[in-house]
C-alpha cells in the first residue's frame, strides 16, 4: 500500500510540474507582419521629428550627443534603421518601405558619412548595397562612393591599423565589406573585413562566457552581483551583424566556419541568460532586480538573430523556438497604440536605463529586422494552410496572364493548365464538373522550370482531344506540345518539340492557341526571342505538326521594346488582338486593338489596314484605345512609368463587339482598372475600380487582374487589395469582387460585391470559362510573392450548371 501511495503521489507531482510548464504561444504570421509594418509606418511618419521621441539618459549622465536634434541621415543611428527597413521591404506587400529607402539614398547621393575609417560611418552602405543587388535598382543604387571609400582605406597605411576596437563596430562595417566583396567578386574586401574582425575578436571576446566586451575599458568592471559586464545591445550588434554578414560569405570559404561558430556560441549564452519575461537585461549577466525595465534594442537584435539562425539551419529549432517566441512576446508588448517601440536604451556604451514612452531609431531598426525574420520563420515552419470555403479545382498550379486559353470546358470536364511553383512541373488538372470532384492532375513535363510564364495553353481539337503547348520563359528556342486521348483527359501521348531556328540566344514564351475555320489552321501566337515581338506558327493538322513561322506585330517605339498581346476568338474566322506598344517599366505606353482574318489586319469597323504579306503590323498602325504618357521618365521610386497600361482581359458580346479590359499604372501603390467597349459605332472608355498596390516591387505595374464573363461581358470579376470603389487600403490581401457593369457605368455608379473576404492569402488572376451549360470562375489562391516564388492552388466556384 505504501508503494502504491508513493507512485500515486509521484504521478500527481509529475503531472503538476508538466501542467505548470509554460508553453510559448505560436504567434500569427499575419499579426507579426502587421505589427512590424505599424512600427515602420510610425517611424517614417515621425522621421523628421525623431528627436521628440528620443530616449535620453538622466540629465547628469548625458553627453553632448544626447539631444533632441534629428540625427544626420547618414549617421549610424539611422543606418541601423535603414538596415531593418530593408529587411521589412523584402517581406512586406507594401512598396512604400523600399521606395522610402530609394529616396533616402538618392537624396544623399549614395555616399557614406564623414569619417573615412570609422565603422559607424560605413553603416548606411548596407542598404545601398542591398538595393544594388536588386536587378531593377542597379542603375539607381550607386555603389561607387562606398567602393571608392573602401579602396582608399585598403590602400592607406592607416587602414592597415586596428580600426574596430569596440564591439558595436562588428554590426556597422563587416556586412558592408562582405557584401561589396560579393557584388564586385573582389576578395580584397572580404580579406580586409576578416582581418579587422579577428582583431576585434581577439581583443574583446571572452572565451569563458562566450560574449563580447563592449571595449577594453570593461575588462575589469563588474555588475552589482560581481559578474562581468556584458552589454546587451553591444552583443546584439555583433549577433545581428553576423546574421547580416554570414549570408554574403562564400559557402566554400575556409573562414566561414569561424563566423558561424561565433554566432552559435553567442546563441548558447543567450539561451542561458534570457529572462522569464522573454527579454534580456541591459547587462546580460546582471540580476533582474538591477535591471527592472525591459530593454528592446538588445532583445530585438537577439530575436532577429535567433530567427535567422533557425531559418538558415545554424540553430536547432526545438531548442531555440521557445526562446524566440518568448522574446517576440516581450517585444510586442512594448509597441504602443500609435506604433512606437518603447524601452529602447539611449545611445551609450554600457548597460543603462530605458523608458516606456521613448525610443530611438536604431532600436526600431532592430525591431523591424526581428519582425521581418520572425514573419519568414512563421511562414516557413507554420504556414497558413490553403483551406477555403471555395472549390479547389487544382492543387499546386500557377499561371501568368499572357497565355490562353489556360482553362477550357470539354465533355463536362474542367481542364486546367498550370505550372507548379514548387517543382516547376508543367501540369494539367482535370476536374469533373458533374460530380464536382477532382479527377486527376497530370504532369506533362517534369521539373521544367519554376516560372509561371511556362504554363501551357490549351486547345480542344475537333475529335474532342486536348492539345497543350508550352515553353520555357525565354531561355529555350523550343515549343513543347502534347495531345490527350479524345475520351479520357487523364491519358496523354508522347511530348513533341518544335525547334525554332534563328540567330539569337533568347528563347520563346507566351503561347496562345486559336483556330481559323476558313483557313483550316490552328495558330500559335507567341513572343519571339529574336525580337521579343508577337510572332506565330500554324498547324494544318490541329497541332500534330507546325510551321509557317511569321513575324506578326513589330514595335515602333524607339529602343528595345516589346508589344504585349492578348487574343480573343471574335468568330470562327476572326481573332481580336489587344496589345501594348512597350513594357510599362520602360515607356508610358499606349493600348491598341486590331482584328486579324483572311491573312490581313482590320480595324474594328471592318476597314482594312494591311495584309500580313506586306509584313508585320507596326504597333502604331492599329486603332489606339488608350494614350499613355509617351515618356521614359519616371520618379526615382517608381519602377514603372506613370500612365502606362497593361491589357489584361478580353471578351465579346452577343453582337461580337469586343470589350477590352486593361490596367493603368499611376504609381506603385495606385493602380486602376479600366474597360473600353465597342458599341458598333464608337469606343466607350471608363474607369471601373481601384486595383490597389503592385504585386511586388520588381514588376510594380503588376496587379491582381480581372476577367469578363465570356457569355456576358457586363459581368466583371476583379482582384484588388483595396476598396474597389474608393481605393481605401483595407490592410489585407487581394480579394475577388464582382459587379454588373453597363456601358454607361463607371467607378461612381458600380456596386462591387465581395466574393472572398478576410483571406489569409492572395486571390489573384481570375478567369471565367463557359461551355455546354457550365460556367466557372477560377483564380489563384495561396502564398504568391513573384513569378518565381509562389505556392498557389486554383480555386473558385461553379457559377452555372446545365439543368
Q: Which residues are catalytic?
A: 168
Q: Report which of 505, 488, 493, 496 is spatially closest to residue 469, judged by C-alpha positions.
A: 496
Rounded Cα distance, 494 and 483, in Å: 8
Q: Report which of 118, 210, 220 is spatially closest to residue 173, judged by C-alpha positions.
A: 118
DSSP per-residue string spanning 26-43: PPPHHHHHHHHHHHHHHH
Rounded Cα distance, 274 and 321, in Å: 13
Residue 685, beta-bridge partner list: 676
Q: Which helix (H) or strand (E) segment is 796 a member of?
A: strand 793-800
Residue with cell 515607356: 587
Rounded Cα distance, 711 and 707, in Å: 12
Q: Report which of 232, 284, 240, 280 is spatially closest to residue 263, judged by C-alpha positions.
A: 240
Return phi, psi of residue 337, to 5°.
-65, -25
Rounded Cα distance, 141 and 206, in Å: 39
**All cell numbers assigned to 287:** 540580476
Q: Which residues contact 58 (CB under 8 A, 6 or more apart)?
A: 353
Asked if residues 304 and 366 have their Cβ atoms less than 8 Å apart, the reply is yes
Q: What is the largest CA-CA distance in the chain?
A: 106
Total residues belonging to the chain = 803
Pairing of strands 591-597, 623-626: antiparallel
Pairing of strands 553-554, 617-618: parallel
> Over 51-100, what HEC string results?
HHHECCCCHHHCCCCCCCCCCCCCCHHHHHHHHHHHHHHCCCCCCHHHHH
Task: Compute CA distances 462 → 466, 516, 520, 768, whole Å.
Answer: 9, 13, 11, 22
Residue 526, beta-bridge partner list: 535
Q: Report which of 376, 393, 374, 398 is spatially closest to residue 762, judged by C-alpha positions.
A: 398
**All cell numbers assigned to 591:** 493600348
**3-class SS of residue 337:** coil
Amino acid at each position: 500500500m505504501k508503494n502504491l501511495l508513493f507512485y500515486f503521489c509521484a504521478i500527481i507531482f509529475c503531472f503538476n510540474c508538466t501542467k505548470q510548464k509554460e508553453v510559448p504561444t505560436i504567434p500569427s504570421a499575419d499579426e507579426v507582419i502587421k505589427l512590424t509594418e505599424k512600427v515602420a509606418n510610425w517611424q517614417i511618419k515621425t522621421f523628421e521629428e525623431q528627436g521628440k521621441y528620443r530616449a535620453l539618459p538622466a540629465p547628469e549622465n548625458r553627453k553632448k550627443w544626447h539631444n533632441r536634434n534629428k540625427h544626420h541621415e547618414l549617421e549610424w543611428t539611422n543606418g541601423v534603421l535603414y538596415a531593418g527597413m530593408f529587411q521589412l521591404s523584402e517581406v512586406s506587400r507594401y512598396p512604400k518601405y523600399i521606395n522610402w529607402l530609394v529616396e533616402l539614398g538618392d537624396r544623399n547621393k549614395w555616399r557614406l558619412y564623414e569619417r573615412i575609417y570609422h565603422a559607424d560611418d560605413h553603416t548606411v552602405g548596407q542598404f545601398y548595397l542591398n538595393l544594388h543587388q536588386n536587378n531593377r535598382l542597379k542603375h539607381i543604387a550607386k555603389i561607387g562612393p562606398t567602393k571608392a571609400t573602401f579602396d582608399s582605406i585598403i590602400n592607406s597605411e592607416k587602414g592597415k591599423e586596428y580600426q574596430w576596437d569596440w564591439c558595436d563596430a562588428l554590426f556597422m562595417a563587416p556586412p558592408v565589406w562582405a557584401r561589396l566583396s560579393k557584388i564586385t567578386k573582389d576578395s580584397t574586401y572580404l580579406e580586409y573585413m576578416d582581418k579587422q574582425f579577428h582583431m576585434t575578436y581577439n581583443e574583446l571576446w571572452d572565451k569563458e562566457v562566450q560574449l563580447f566586451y563592449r571595449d577594453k575599458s570593461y575588462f575589469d568592471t563588474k555588475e552589482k552581483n560581481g559578474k562581468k559586464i556584458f552589454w546587451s545591445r553591444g552583443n546584439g550588434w555583433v549577433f545581428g551583424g553576423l546574421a547580416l554578414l554570414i549570408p554574403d560569405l562564400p559557402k566554400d570559404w575556409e573562414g566561414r566556419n569561424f563566423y558561424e561558430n561565433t554566432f552559435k556560441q553567442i546563441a548558447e549564452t543567450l539561451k542561458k541568460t534570457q529572462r522569464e519575461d522573454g527579454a534580456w537585461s541591459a547587462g546580460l549577466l546582471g540580476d533582474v532586480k538591477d535591471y527592472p525595465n525591459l530593454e528592446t534594442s538588445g532583445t530585438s537584435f537577439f530575436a532577429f538573430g535567433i530567427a535567422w539562425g533557425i531559418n538558415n539551419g545554424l540553430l536547432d529549432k526545438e531548442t531555440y523556438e521557445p526562446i524566440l517566441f518568448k522574446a517576440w512576446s516581450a517585444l510586442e508588448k512594448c509597441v504602443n497604440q500609435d506604433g512606437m517601440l518603447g524601452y529602447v536604451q539611449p545611445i551609450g556604451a554600457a548597460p543603462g536605463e530605458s523608458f516606456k514612452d521613448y525610443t530611438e531609431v536604431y532600436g526600431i531598426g532592430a525591431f523591424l529586422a526581428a519582425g521581418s525574420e520572425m514573419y519568414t520563420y512563421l511562414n516557413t515552419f507554420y504556414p497558413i494552410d490553403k483551406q477555403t470555403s471555395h472549390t479547389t479545382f487544382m492543387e499546386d498550379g500557377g499561371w501568368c496572364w499572357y497565355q490562353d486559353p489556360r482553362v477550357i470546358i470539354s465533355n463536362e470536364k474542367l481542364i486546367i493548365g498550370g505550372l507548379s511553383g514548387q517543382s516547376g512541373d508543367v501540369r494539367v488538372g482535370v476536374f469533373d464538373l458533374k460530380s464536382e470532384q477532382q479527377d486527376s492532375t497530370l504532369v506533362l513535363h517534369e521539373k521544367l522550370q519554376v516560372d509561371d510564364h511556362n504554363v501551357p495553353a490549351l486547345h480542344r481539337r475537333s475529335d474532342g482531344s486536348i492539345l497543350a503547348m508550352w515553353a520555357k520563359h525565354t531561355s529555350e528556342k523550343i515549343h513543347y506540345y502534347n495531345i490527350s486521348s479524345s475520351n479520357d483527359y487523364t491519358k496523354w501521348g508522347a511530348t513533341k518539340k518544335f525547334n525554332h531556328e534563328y540567330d539569337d540566344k533568347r528563347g520563346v514564351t507566351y503561347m496562345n492557341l486559336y483556330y481559323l475555320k476558313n483557313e483550316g489552321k490552328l495558330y500559335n501566337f507567341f513572343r519571339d526571342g529574336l525580337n521579343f515581338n508577337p510572332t506565330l506558327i500554324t498547324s494544318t493538322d490541329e497541332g500534330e505538326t507546325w510551321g509557317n513561322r511569321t513575324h506578326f506585330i513589330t514595335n515602333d517605339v524607339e529602343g528595345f521594346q516589346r508589344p504585349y498581346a492578348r487574343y480573343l476568338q471574335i468568330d470562327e474566322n476572326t481573332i481580336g488582338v489587344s496589345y501594348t506598344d512597350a513594357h510599362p517599366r520602360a515607356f508610358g505606353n499606349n493600348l491598341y486593338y486590331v482584328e486579324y482574318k483572311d491573312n490581313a489586319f482590320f480595324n474594328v469597323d471592318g476597314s482594312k489596314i494591311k495584309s500580313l504579306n506586306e509584313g508585320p503590323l507596326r504597333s502604331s498602325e492599329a486603332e489606339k484605345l488608350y494614350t499613355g504618357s509617351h515618356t521614359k521618365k519616371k520618379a526615382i521610386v517608381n519602377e514603372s512609368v506613370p500612365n502606362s497600361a497593361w491589357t489584361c482581359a478580353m471578351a465579346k458580346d452577343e453582337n461580337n463587339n469586343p470589350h477590352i479590359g486593361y490596367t493603368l499604372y499611376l504609381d506603385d501603390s495606385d493602380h486602376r482598372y479600366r474597360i473600353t467597349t465597342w458599341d458598333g459605332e464608337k469606343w466607350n472608355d471608363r474607369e471601373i475600380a481601384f486595383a490597389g498596390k503592385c504585386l511586388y516591387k520588381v514588376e510594380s505595374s503588376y496587379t491582381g487582374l480581372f476577367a469578363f464573363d465570356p457569355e456576358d461581358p457586363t459581368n466583371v470579376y476583379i482582384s484588388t487589395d483595396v476598396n474597389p470603389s474608393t481605393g481605401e487600403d483595407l490592410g489585407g490581401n487581394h480579394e475577388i469582387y464582382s459587379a454588373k457593369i453597363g456601358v454607361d457605368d463607371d467607378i461612381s455608379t458600380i456596386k462591387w460585391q465581395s466574393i472572398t473576404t478576410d483571406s489569409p492569402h492572395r486571390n489573384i488572376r481570375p478567369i471565367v470559362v463557359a461551355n455546354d451549360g457550365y460556367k466557372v470562375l477560377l483564380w489563384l489562391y495561396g502564398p504568391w510573392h513573384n513569378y518565381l516564388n509562389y505556392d498557389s492552388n486554383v480555386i473558385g466556384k461553379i457559377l452555372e450548371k446545365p439543368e
